[in-house]
Amino acid sequence: MIHKIKSLHDEGSGMSIRGIARHLGISRNTVRKYLAMSEEEIQARQSNRERRKLLDPHRDYIRHLMETFPGLSAVKIYCKLKEKDPDIPASIRTVRRYVARLKQTSTLKQERYYEPVLDMVPGVQCQVDPGELRGVLVAGRPTTVYFVVFVLSYSRLMYVEVSPRPIDTGMFIHMHDAAFRYFGGCPEECVYDQTRLVVIDERYRELTLNDRFHGYATAAGFRIRACEGYDPESKGKVEAGVRYVKHNALAGEIFGDWAEVQAHLAEWLDATANIRIHGAMGEPPRQRYERDERSHMRPYLTPAIDFTPTCRETRKADKTGLVSWKSNRYSVPMRYQRAILGVCEQQGFLVIIDLESGEEVTRHALCQGRGQVVKKRSHYPDKARRVAEHEAELHRLLGEDGRRLGALLKKGAPDIYKDQLAGLVRLLRRREIPPRLLAHLLSQPRLTTSRIEDYLDAYRDRPELLDELPAAPRAAVGQTAADSGTKAMLQPYAAVCGVREVRDAVN
């Protein structure tokens, strides 16, 4: 920058100070300061590698905020920094300049979100992962031990909860409650893989969360982060923790009963896992947590919400995915058609439970009337969206001709338009419509997918006979789409080419 300023000025023979400042986007005072420096001063300044910006110690946290909340203003970042460190000696103007420089010089988009930025930010992240170990001897019998590991990303402080049976949502919530009470606080966010305890479904990285667990997270005050599928490295700290529990805490142990398993894990955490010299940190996790992280954890109190609904009654969903309750009907996802489900009322909601897994399927606000149908749109296929997707694909394959072809399909078979579109898209992915045949098809008054396929079959064998086809007939008043005039248009072509009699697809 200094040499660029001097070269632009060229000892007064080049650009003016005002022009250089405007050209480089810096202040005139900065230009004057660098122009006044001698070569020796410039060399001394550039050789000083110890120069650091005032906010460099907080660089990781600022990058984390910018990545997590795109578009976050510098003023808000300043407020967040003040929350973390009230004595930070920086003004809003300093933060604004630092953020602007980061945007110019840093690549904020990362393939994996969690690895690069959060190790050095205390109180922000906890990584959570369930695991299991088979064949553990409990009361003389090989037993599968189910457990969940919690690891704070900054200090590596660990907590483990165990269970003798597969973990359901209610148990998962209680394990979080125990972990946060053990830590003495709550982090800003928790990171998970795409377990159904947290994520019900993912579509293009848009997540459908488990309603019960999402409700708990909201009440407790932490954000839910879910890794991309098949990407365990983005929560590598807890993955290592799961291996540590299997191979150090549980391997080779024999327990008299389940209470002994729980007591052993509690002692192992305090006497081994959290006081060892951590390989990555170089100090015990407990020591690092008490010194640097505890003060940054959010206060935590067990939410005063009952997250463990009990199913005292059952209902069978009908073929339309509706469950009857007190003279009203409530929807469930279509995969539960004709399934027997548990139902119970809870704080003004009807909670519907999967009896096999214990998972909450959905919940509805209780309807006070009678004979009402309460539905969630997400429980049913979105026909309009599917039609739009098929139309977009048809346009991608054929351009504007695809839109015209779709309009003819809609005119020919409006009641089954979605299925006609889906069939045509599949057909076009396998076979190409020659331009001459496409032009002829677009001249027809109406079409169906099966009629288009018949044309393709005939054209494949005798393309020259396309010239012998009559012009598209004008349908007589009162005739249907499958009348003799429309069939006559195609039948001679098909008969000459040796194709079977044309299917009456419209009818």
372-397 pLDDT per residue, tens:
999 887 787 767 778 888 888 988 88
Residue 290 neighbours by CB under 8 Å, 6+ apart: none
Determine contact, residues 418/380, Cβ cutoff 8 Å. Answer: no
Rounded CA-CA distance 311/344 in Å is 5
Res 482 pLDDT > 50: no
Res 506 pLDDT > 50: no
Res 346 pLDDT > 80: no
289-305 pLDDT per residue, tens:
999 999 999 999 877 66
Rounded CA-CA distance 150/140 in Å is 29
Residue 353 neighbours by CB under 8 Å, 6+ apart: 309, 311, 341, 342, 343, 344, 359, 360, 361
pLDDT-derived band of residue 500, with 50, 70 and 90 as boundaries?
Answer: very low
Predicted pLDDT at 170: 84
Closest CA relative to residue 298, chosen from 190, 224, 220, 225: 220
Q: What angle do CA 501, 504, 507 make, to 5 degrees?
A: 165
pLDDT-derived band of residue 113, with 50, 70 and 90 as boundaries?
Answer: very low
Determine contact, residues 245/128, Cβ cutoff 8 Å. Answer: no
Domain extent listing, the chain: 2-47, 56-105, 125-296, 313-375, 383-497
Neighbours of 269 (CB within 10 A): 19
pLDDT-derived band of residue 234, with 50, 70 and 90 as boundaries?
Answer: low
157-166 pLDDT per residue, tens:
999 999 888 8
Rounded CA-CA distance 130/165 in Å is 12
Determine contact, residues 179/238, Cβ cutoff 8 Å. Answer: no
- pTM beyond 0.85: no
125-296 topology per CATH:
Nucleotidyltransferase; domain 5 (3.30.420)
- For 292-322, b where at least 16 C-beta lie within 10 A, e where not — what string? ebbebbeebeebeeebebebeeebebeeebb
Mean pLDDT rounded to a whole number for the chain:
80
Closest CA relative to residue 424, chosen from 449, 401, 444: 449
- For 137-165, b where at least 16 C-beta lie within 10 A, e where not — what string? ebeeeebebbbbbbbbbbbbbbbbbbbee
Reading the block at residue 204, the tokens are: 């293009």
Closest CA relative to residue 464, chosen from 496, 486, 433, 489: 496
Polymer length of the chain = 507
Bridge pairing between strands 360-365 and 254-255: unpaired
SS3 content of the chain, % helix, strand, coil (to 5): 45, 15, 35
pLDDT-derived band of residue 49, with 50, 70 and 90 as boundaries?
Answer: very low
Mean of pLDDT values over 102-114? 54
Res 504 pLDDT > 70: no
Residue bearing the bigger pLDDT, 85 or 273: 273
